[in-house]
Copies of this chain bind each other. A is one copy, B any other.
Amino acid sequence: MNVKPGATQPLEPLLFEKGSPGRVGWSLPPADVPDVDPDAIFGKGAARGPVEGLPELSEVDVVRHYTRLSRLNYGVDVGMYPLGSCTMKYNPKLNEWAARIPAFARSHPLQPPEISQGLLALMHALERILCEVSGMARVTLQPAAGAQGELAGMLIVRAHHKAHGNPRHKVLVPDTAHGTNPASCALCDYEVVTIKSGPTGLLEPAAVAAHMDEDVAALMLTNPNTCGLFETHIREIADIVHAKGGLVYYDGANLNALMGVAKPGHMGVDVMHFNLHKTFSTPHGGGGPGSGPVGVVEPLARYLPTPIVNLRDGQYVLDDVPESIGKMKSFHGHVGMHIRAYAYALALGGKGLAQSSRYAVLNANYVLERLRGAYHVPYAGRVMHECIVTDKRQNDHGVKTLDIAKRLMDYGYHPPTVYFPLVVPGALMIEPTESESLETLDAFVDAMLAIAREAEEDPELVTGAPHTTPVARLDEVEAARKPILRWTPA
């Protein structure tokens, strides 16, 4: 280690490097029933003593360990988090309270529906809200995240085709698509046919038509796409797909641009997923949990994952779906996330949701407009809820997208998404979300402009960044070459 003690705030040792044998952070009252002998019950060799290696810490040790670790993290509560495609909007505090209401948190997934009416009512109401926002006929709340939603959706596509005699073999996926799209297709044994997007960043009807045939099960697209552009030709494209009996799958990761602005259900979309952890403000939790409901048009509702909540004779019931693709998850999905998303939708109401999308789009356009002078902009014209700039100009000074991203940390911001979508070399994909005020946007843009100047005047300041974070730039190559994936005793 090249850093002297006291030259920078100390890092935190691992849980396993702390503590002492016999120290405890928790204890049970003595049992009120006779003790038993595991060896006698399970037979020797099948029973086990205390788990070797588990930490031995007092309560304050644990509290400090995680408090200190948390302070090494950046989050939405710390500042602007313009991570494109991730919709890092504000996560309301009320939602955290709501999910922890004891009657909700303590509910067992197999307790009888008669005593669970409040939860079922909430899930049913959330489904209605998602239907209204999307124009879909029915929505399942079961999938755990966007990618699982995609899998559920593509299995519904498959079920539909199978019911019509042939599951088909191919799915068309634009080259701008998120990695989960082709991966989900592959899980359903569909061959992925990549469609090149046009020079304006849009999917062109002709390109779709050229690949569309009766062995294509579906077109899978994101709208606005991952370049932040609305797929203007979507209905024409949907018609082309439908004409050959194909279905249109809509990746709703970017729905935050469209609430109250346009409904996928009117665009020719047959199946779609939502990311409640994007559009509906449920927190990302450092990488999850998410929630990825799937919406479908009426004829596909019969394939939805089972069960589904219905209202019958004034009672909410969990109904089996007879032709269902099956179950995606144990029980009912991430109900804790449903509660948060529901609270969010109710807090904003119809008008507030529509305003959110409008402001999200205004924010992205505003940032783009202010960055134009200093950064290369790959696509002309307006954008939706996110915008892309690149490092093309900065490359002349040896400064790359990754450097700009790292340098932003020194200014107190989380970097944008970098090097995605793959079709834009050196992309910096900026999604401010509607949560950011004009002043915050201005301060962020000012930092970007300062970095552009630094790239010209003092490029090493940028390529050596970050300078003010708890650790300096980390060696990711080394990590992958000789993976150390767990602590082991020295």
Contacts and interface: CB of A to CB of B under 8 A. Distances in A.
A161 interface: no
Given A60-B435, A90-B60, A438-B20, A6 B71 contact: no
A20 B437 contact: yes
A209 interface: no
Contacts of A437: 19-20, 23, 58, 61
B64 A79 contact: yes
Interface string A408-433: 00111000000000000000000000
B468 A5 contact: no
Contacts of A51: none
Contacts of A79: 64, 68
Number of copies of chain A assembled together: 2
B60 A411 contact: no
Interface in A457-490: 461, 467-468
B63 A67 contact: no
A6 B450 contact: yes
Nearest to A10: B412
A320 interface: no
A77 B70 CA distance: 11
Contacts of A76: 60
A407 interface: yes
A20 B67 CA distance: 33
A7 interface: yes
**Interface SS of A by simple majority:** loop
A6 B410 contact: yes
Chain B CB count within 10 A is highest, among A78, A412, A451, for A412
Interface in A29-62: 58-61
Contact of A467 (B7, B18, B439, B461): B7
Nearest to A58: B437
A9 interface: yes
A24 to B, nearest CB: 12
A179 interface: no
A113 to B, nearest CB: 27
A92 interface: yes
A12 to B, nearest CB: 10
Contacts of A467: 6-7
A10 B411 contact: yes
Contacts of A438: 20
Interface of A: 5-10, 18-20, 23, 58-61, 63-64, 67-68, 71, 76-79, 90, 92-93, 407, 410-412, 435, 437-439, 447, 450-451, 454, 461, 467-468
14 contacts: A6-B450, A6-B454, A6-B468, A9-B410, A9-B412, A9-B468, A19-B437, A20-B437, A20-B439, A58-B435, A59-B90, A59-B92, A60-B90, A64-B77
